[in-house]
Amino acid sequence: MAVMTYRDALNEALREEMQRDGDVFLMGEEVAEYDGAYKVSKGLLNAFGDRRVVDSPISELGFAGLGVGAAMTGLRPVIEFMTFNFSILALDQVINSAAKMHYMTNGQIGCPIVFRGPTGAALQLSAQHSQACETYYVHAPGVKLVTPGTPADAKGLLKASIRDDDPVAFMEGELLYNLKGEVPDDDDFVIPLGVADVKKEGDDVTIITHGKMVNVAMQAAQKMEKDDGVMAEVVDLRTLRPLDVDAVLASVKKTNRAVYLEEGWSYVGIGAQIVSLVQEEAFDWLDAPILRVTQADVPMPYAKNLENLAKPNAKRVIDACHRVMYR
């Protein structure tokens, strides 16, 4: 096992897949000459040249559409959005073209493309640059959605996404790029899409989450274990579509209590789908209503004190866990 940052794990995944398959190329704003806004593509231009690492104009709709066309002809584009907030400009290409191409051509034309970049809030980037964009993408059939929360997951899931024959939205945590963790040395390390991971075993309450919030959930679980003796189980979904339903239900049936944690807004959020699933499939195992911990239902404030109030945090997760345990 090697210890590396989330950023370097993504870089290694891109490098290995570009070496493995000559049809894979990377395109986006500043991915080539500048090595990427977050240095995820560092060194790739020198390694693969400007036909496979392509700087684009500031036109998300344009270069996303170019990527979709390339995928339709058999290439495997990786389209980097500097932030998924900017990808809202390209939703027509993602949702109306990439997601529907296989279906509307009766399977004659595929669209193996990855749209990747950071999502969610960082530090004081204000309302237009701090949105968790998962719900915009997961709603549409035809797009897979991947949200890695650790360096190992980032590498293994990105490799799987690039090899997948369907469009994949690959959402990274902007504050995770410097996060370090163990990553298998195997250059063929691939994590299948649609398989959740239990990051921490427990018997008292289940915390279900994904992406950057995995680390918040782990902080809450470790503090509860230390302070209260509460053993929380942390289930990292890793992919939101396809969803590992069996893993969610197995944990809830084990602990009989559940809290869902997400970075996005609560209204029609990912947690609403999870609550519906658990209510339909595991109602008889529940000893308490499911609670959700989300961002405040406001555009993200710029002021640091208000931003901190709006974001989900470990204390709010602990409070929710205590409530479902009637503590």
Q: Which residues are catalytic?
A: 60, 129
For residue 185, give Cα distances in angstroms to 7, 31, 32, 79, 277.
16, 25, 26, 26, 37
How far apart are the C-alpha atoms of 252 and 248, rounded to whole Å?
6
For residue 5, give Cα distances in angstroms to 8, 21, 153.
5, 24, 11
Q: Which of 43, 236, 63, 44 is nearest to 157 (CA)?
A: 236
Q: Which of 94, 78, 196 is nearest to 142 (CA)?
A: 94
CA angle, residues 3, 220, 215, in degrees to nearest 5 = 30
The SS3 call for residue 171 is strand
How far apart are the C-alpha atoms of 317 and 213, rounded to whole Å?
10
CA angle, residues 155, 16, 157, in degrees to nearest 5 = 25
Residue 267, Cβ neighbours under 10 Å: how many? 9
Check residue 189 and report its DSSP letter. -
Residue entry with tokens 């980037």: 125
Give me the amino acid identity at 215: N
The SS3 call for residue 47 is helix
For residue 296, give both structure tokens.
Answer: 């405040």
Check residue 94 and report its DSSP letter. I
Q: Which of 115, 185, 114, 197 is nearest to 153 (CA)?
A: 197
